[in-house]
Chains A and B, each alone.
Chain A
């Protein structure tokens, strides 16, 4: 049972464009939603995260939009750059889960120069 569904599986964007990755969840106990970025040969690294008490969080070119009623959240990368080319994972963490992060299946983003 996949608790966090992520789409698309892969995404190709031109430099300067907007990259959008979507995630959906079912478990209403989830109360923390991070995005991790992974470059080839490296471990995932926290990029940005949001809690369900806000609908949007922005850090530089990266924005998370959160829709609690729809149980969906998305990552927007503005002015996408070739250096943003990586695999992006959404994740969710439930209250009382002992930090059991549940990851989406990942999106391979390629930004063409």
Chain B
């Protein structure tokens, strides 16, 4: 039973395309996040949602649009993909904004060619 699952695991696409990454958690958590890990393994938060409400938006280009249809899902849509968007994207969840343990998915490796 995977706690935080992301699909797809790998995504290769051409510049200019639009793509989506899906995330689902079965932990009953009410807070979900998207993190970006670059080629040097640096992890940086992009967005967080609490009870479907956007809480953190870390100066991410507006080509990135998160959508949370319910507390268990947080999808990431990316428009007009650029080479610099190539990275591993991690979804995570926690119980509450002040809960201290975040559970991460396995990641989606996005390669833009």
A-side residues, CB < 8 A to B, are 32, 34, 38, 41-46, 49, 87, 89, 93, 98-101, 103, 105-106, 108
Query: Does the CB pair B97–A98 fall under 8 Å?
Result: yes
Whether a CB of chain A sits under 8 angstroms from the CB of B62 is: no
What are 27 residue pairs bridging A and B, where the CB atoms are less than 8 Å apart in the complex?
A32-B100, A34-B100, A42-B107, A43-B92, A43-B104, A43-B106, A44-B104, A45-B103, A45-B104, A46-B101, A46-B103, A49-B101, A87-B41, A89-B43, A98-B48, A98-B50, A99-B31, A99-B33, A99-B94, A99-B97, A99-B98, A99-B99, A99-B102, A100-B56, A101-B102, A105-B40, A105-B41
Chain B count of residues within 8 A CB distance of the other chain: 28
Interface residues of B in 53-101 (CB under 8 A from A): 55-56, 58, 90, 92, 94, 97-101
Knowing A98-B97, A99-B99, the reply to whether A106 touches B105 (Cβ < 8 A) is no
CA distance A44 to B103 in the complex (A): 8
CA distance A41 to B44 in the complex (A): 17
CB within 8 Å: A-B pair count: 58
With a cutoff of 8 Å between Cβ atoms, the chain B residues found around residue A38 in the complex are 41
With a cutoff of 8 Å between Cβ atoms, the chain A residues found around residue B94 in the complex are 99
B-side residues, CB < 8 A to A, are 4, 31, 33, 40-45, 48, 50, 55-56, 58, 90, 92, 94, 97-107
With a cutoff of 8 Å between Cβ atoms, the chain A residues found around residue B33 in the complex are 99
CA distance A49 to B102 in the complex (A): 12
Q: A34-B100, A38-B41, A41-B107 are in contact. List 5 more A-B contacts (CB 8 A).
A: A43-B107, A93-B100, A99-B98, A100-B56, A105-B42
- Minimum CB–CB distance for A66 against chain B, Å: 15
Query: Does the CB pair A106–B41 fall under 8 Å?
Result: yes
- Minimum CB–CB distance for B106 against chain A, Å: 5
- Minimum CB–CB distance for A41 against chain B, Å: 7
CA distance A1 to B88 in the complex (A): 22
